[in-house]
Amino acid sequence: MGALNNLATFYESNGDREFSSITFLFVIVKACTKSFQESNFNVAKAILELFIVLFKIHADRQTAPETFLYAPIVKLAAEKIGDRKLSDSSSSCLNSICVVKDPQRVLHVATKTVDGVISPLVHEALLVWIKSFSANFGLATLSHGVKDVLIWILKECESNNMKVKNAAGDVLGEMYTQLGPVLESFVKSSDVSSSISSMVEKVFKDNAHDPNANQTERRFKCITMSSSNGPSGGPGKGGNASSMLALPTTDLMSALKSDCLDRMNDTGDKKSWRNRKDALDEVDAALGKCGGLLSTEGKAFLQLKQLAANLRLRINDSQSNLKPLAASVIGSLLSRLDDTAQAKIGPVVFPALVNAAMNDMKKTMRDAAVSALEFGTDSPKQNGGGTNASSVEAFILSLESELSDAAIKSSGLPDVLVFLTAKMETLTATNEQEKLSVHRPLAKVIVMSLLSSKSGSRSAAENLLAVCSKNGFVPPSSFDKEIGKLLPAQQRTVRSFIPKMSKQDQELVDTFKKASERPRRPGQMMSSRQTNQVARPNTKTTLQSPRASGHRKSSSIVETDVLPDNPLQMSDRSVKPKGQRLAMLGKGDSWPEYSEEPSSDTIQSLRRAWAVLIPSTSIDVLLPQSGLRTHDDCTDGCDLLSKAIRYSRDNNDSSFLKMLDFIFKWATCAFLLRDHTSGFRKLLSTIRELFERLDELSYAISDGEALILLPYLLDKASVAKLQFKEDILTIFTLVTTKKVYPSQKFGLVCMKVLEKSKSNPSRTLAAELCFDAVRSAGVSAIGRKGLVILSSALNEETVAEAKKVYIDVFEIVVEKLKGDTDKLFSAIKPTEKVKAMIMERCVKQSVAIQGSPRRSPPRKIAPPVGHCSPTGGQEAPTLSSSAVVTGNLRARLQKSKETKLSEELHRLPPSIDTTSAVNPPPTHSPRTTSTDMKYNDIIDDIKFMTTSKACKSTDIVRGTDAIQLLRSFISNNDNNDCTVDHIEKEAFREKIESDYNACVHDVASALEFAFDHGGKNAPLPTALINETVSALTYLLRMRCCRSEMSEKTVEHLVKVTVSALLDERIHINHDIVKATNKVAMRAVTAPKLDVSLNALIRVQVSVIEGNATGERFRLKFSKVLEKLLKRVIKDRYDFSPSNIFGELKQLGALLASIDCIIGTIAGISKTGSVPEDLLTPSESMTNYLLLELVKCKKGEVRETVEDLGDDVKFIEPVLRRCEQELGMKLPTPAVVPTSSGSGESSFRERLEALKRLRESNGK
């Protein structure tokens, strides 16, 4: 022992110089200590301490010892580590060896040595040292040796000695801290008992994973390891957990029963849901046992893709309880795929999951779908977790494809957008290529979501927009392209969130970037018009505020909590009285005159002036320094005014009247902000409450106060939605009837709008309100000045509707003047044009009937100011065809009619009155007062035009007039013809409903005539086509269309409209093409589903069977029919995505029709009489329809086909293909009969069989 200690001391001081003698020393010591097997613990300790010194010399020289030198010492240390007296020395010796030699080899020798030792103390002590080794060196130093160490530790967990078992658990806890989920997966994939598995799970639960563990600086470093293996010492040199511990892959399909997929698709009977549930549970259990990743090599990948397709069908399972289970299984499946496989299989299930997450009625299913999407876009935790960018890209593409008009209104869209936002936050666009991969669909998702009617969806879309803009995922050009596809109104809405940033715009923003970062001036409010403009630099000094950069709502809410009982409490400071302020309006005051809008400078002035009167907390709520942009930002101000009104009512206080002009100015600014539904509703409610309080105080507002607010309020009413328009008109009624601003004075406001407004709806509405004011209060309501303004407006007006209302006002004025037009003209001195229009109206009405003169009623508004309909009890004026023919049409045809009509009179049928066309203006005698006879006359004119063999231009004009008259009766616009009474319209519509199919057929025949008349090279009668398409549009919108329209009518209408669309001449006029295309789509989407589908199939059969037209035309026709059928299905998807064939009443009849077209295709294909390309659209259309039927109806289709028996002979092969494509269980193949040509089972015979089938089903 003494010699060993002396040697240790010698080499400690002279080791570097005597390094070459270490090998000889090892041989001598080994020989003198019985190969290191001395039983005396003092000698053993001396040996260990000697070699600690020797290995330290190797460390200093950066030299690894030979195997023969360190292996015996490792065995000695491992054997003695269980001895309490030698434990420290053994641990230190092992540490010193690991510093100079590969730790993987050191632990291999140590664990193998301990395996041969029975004493549990040795096992426990080595486990304790391995734990300290893991902490001091880091597991990265073991590299791939971690697996061998883990296997040995798991074996030690099975020990009967609790201390050994606990020590093994402690080691696993330390290892889990560094390795994380990879270790957990490895343990699950290992063959361990359930008791060990539960113990390990508890250990993992008690120890948190540190993702940065491999980057942590460690106490010891192995000097002989290469940097690639990464000693755990320094940052950036830690190994990856998944690379250190290779996980086994699992072949999932081999773990399932062979009939699992068949049971998953079993829809045979009512109890088959149990089989589907068992199959889902089986897949879920198999995935739960998979500790690593799923195998995706070769055939395994295709099998997983097929499994995903089958699971996708269960998301729309008829048993609602199975849908969340299916979503959960899908999420579990995707979470066990590597990144590449996940990105490939994800698109199979993402569309169904997105649809369920947005549209499912149950929140449980929506949450399950979102959870599955989260698993499907995350990298597996076995690979370190994080977001899989490729899967996120696939998800965005799926979301874009599912984002229909119905989807953006769904209740689940906000959750999907929140999920996508969270994913995008974890990604970073590192280069331009990454940005381009998803920017177009992502831009579309954001733009469409911003148009949602749900505030939650819009808010989530704004957050997503902010994240994508910050990280640069979507360039501005992509937004511009998507916004350019929208309607103008929609573009304005979206542009309020996404301003157009061209290169010049960006330069402007960069130039004034510092200015834009400063808070806006106090009280700054921007109107809806101003927010769409690029900000201009302001040379004036901006008032600074520490709160300006904060959120507007949060600051105002805090201020509302500390408001006084009377928020509008007057201060004692001296200010100008209200009378003086109103006298300065339009002169020295900064407030603009209508129709100019208040600017930011004006709002600043208002804030400064008002702040003198009321508490500072109140002015900060009404006009916050951060500014106001939408109606929603005014809600706190509305609450403040409501509180002040309540205080006034409770305390009989009227002090707020002294600042009423300020309140009206604030309200005007608020109305001009960007629209927000709930905020605007609250603003209107507050204004109404204010006027009610003014009525309670018997306060009549002055003209100056009225002109501050009411013209702008009238402007808003003209363009607001119906519900808000009614609210505003109710306020006007309250103002005028409660004498707050009586009708005698209200005409002043109307005249101001009439004179100044540039908005057509505003001028029209002002004239209507003016009409009511004159009727209730007399001519004094507008006075001479108002009449002069009205005369000037009528002279300059270009909008026909506004002109009509202006003349209505003059008509009521003449009535109030008792017919004295001379008095009127002498007062206003109108132009000859205006005088002629007034005289024409007054003279026409005075001679139309006996009795009091009749006026054309003004446009209906609800509720009008003191409005009631014109004097009742009068006989309706005579109805002439000239009254319904527009001026433009007459202007085009008048000259030709005058020159040719005299030559054509003898050719016209005697039932038509021809005197009306001889002398302009044309005034026809009334046909009859009977609705039935009037309808019959219209139809007779149309039929004469379409069936006459010698049709002349006069016949076309008469037919066009008849169609236009028909349209005026069925249109919903009351302004089409002022001479058509509402009651008469209803009676006429009832007549059309009773003869609906014949009426549609005759009008459609007029469209057919328009394209056939004169040959294919003749110019098209544009006026006739326009009126016919318009009439068909209104006919297809009638409420009886869905219930009354027959297959024959649909068939005829489809043939006519598609033929028209394929005529080359129609493309000269884009508007006609667009309108005709809408009629064609409406013709197949408006009727019942059975009617549309059967009619389309019949037309398709007639196209491929017919030979009257060229093959090219028939091919185009067939392709259009295919598109129309897909449009019908898409329309049903938008209406009811979960059950598109829910309204289908006769499945058997539809399958018989499909069988007919399949048989026809087979027969024609066999004869080879037509090219194969001609049959392709028909085959595609049939396959698509049958596939959608099977997808929706599932086993019911097969059952119906079997019930039909021999009535369907050709559908079986196509049906089997559809069932196979959907992964359904296939029945035993049946013998398919072949077609023997037109002699056997011709289409006409099958059609008769179909008719008999429908009759037997009660059709």
β-bridge partners, 378:
387
C-alpha separations of 268 from 4, 315, 989 in Å: 87, 18, 48
pTM for the complete prediction? 0.39
Task: Give the rounded percent of residues in the chain with a pLDDT score beyond 90.
Answer: 13
652: phi then psi, degrees, rounded to nearest 5:
50, 45
The band of 898, judged by pLDDT with boundaries at 50, 70 and 90, is very low
How high is the pLDDT of residue 642? 92
Q: Which of 470-479, 823-832, 1102-1111 has the lowest mean pLDDT?
A: 1102-1111
Name which of 221-235, 279-293, 751-765, 1158-1172 the model is least confident about. Answer: 221-235
What's the whole-number mean pLDDT along residues 106-118? 90
912 half-sphere exposure, CB direction, 13 A CA radius: 24
Contacts (Cβ under 8 Å, ≥6 apart) of 603: 523, 524, 525, 623, 669
Q: What is the pLDDT of residues 179-220, one digit of tens each?
A: 877 777 777 777 778 788 888 888 888 888 887 777 788 888
The identity of residue 848, as a single letter, is A
Q: What is the pLDDT of residue 520?
A: 41
| Whether residue 432 has pLDDT greater than 50 | no
Q: What is the pLDDT of residue 1145?
A: 79
Q: What stretch of H or E contains 50? A: helix 41-60
Span 758-779, average pLDDT: 87
Rounded CA-CA distance 130/81 in Å is: 12
Spatial distance between the Cα atoms of 693 and 651, rounded to a whole number of angstroms: 13
Give the CB-side neighbour count of residue 1243, counting CA atoms within 13 A. 21
pLDDT higher than 50, residue 851: no
Distances (CA, A) of 575 to 578, 648, 661, 705: 9, 22, 14, 18
Q: CA dihedral defined by 493, 499, 501, 506, rounded to 10 degrees?
A: 170
897 falls in which pLDDT band (50, 70, 90)? very low
| Mean per-residue pLDDT over the chain, rounded | 78
Give the pLDDT mean for 1061-1077: 84
Distances from the Cα of 467 to the Cαs of 457, 629, 849, 912, in angstroms?
A: 15, 22, 70, 71
pLDDT in tens, 386-429: 888 888 888 998 898 888 888 888 889 999 999 999 988 888 65
Confidence of residue 684 (pLDDT cuts 50, 70, 90): very high
pLDDT tens track for 549-592: 333 333 333 344 456 788 988 887 777 788 778 877 766 567 88
The string of pLDDT tens digits covering residues 487-539 is 888 888 888 888 755 444 444 445 444 443 444 444 444 444 343 333 333 33
918 confidence band (pLDDT: 50, 70, 90): very low
Q: What is the pLDDT of residues 366-381, one digit of tens each?
A: 999 999 999 899 888 7
Give ∠ CA 165-168-170 in degrees, rounded to 5.
Answer: 115
Task: Dump pLDDT digits (tens) for 941-991.
Answer: 888 888 877 777 778 888 888 898 888 888 765 444 444 556 677 788 888
d(CA 324, CA 356): 10
Sort residue 913 into left (φ over 0), alpha (ψ -120 to 50) or beta: beta
pLDDT one-digit tens code per residue, 999-1016: 999 999 999 888 888 787
What pLDDT was estimated at residue 180? 79
Between CA 885 and CA 1066 the distance in angstroms is 23
Residue 127 has pLDDT above 80, yes or no: yes
Please answer whether residues 347 and 398 qualify as being in contact, where contact means their C-beta atoms are separated by less than 8 angstroms: yes
Residue with the bigger pLDDT between 527 and 1028: it is 1028
Q: Is 1252's pLDDT higher than 60?
A: no
Distances (CA, A) of 668 to 615, 634, 638: 21, 12, 13
pLDDT score recorded for residue 586:
65
- 670 against 554, higher pLDDT: 670
So what's the pLDDT on residue 587? 64
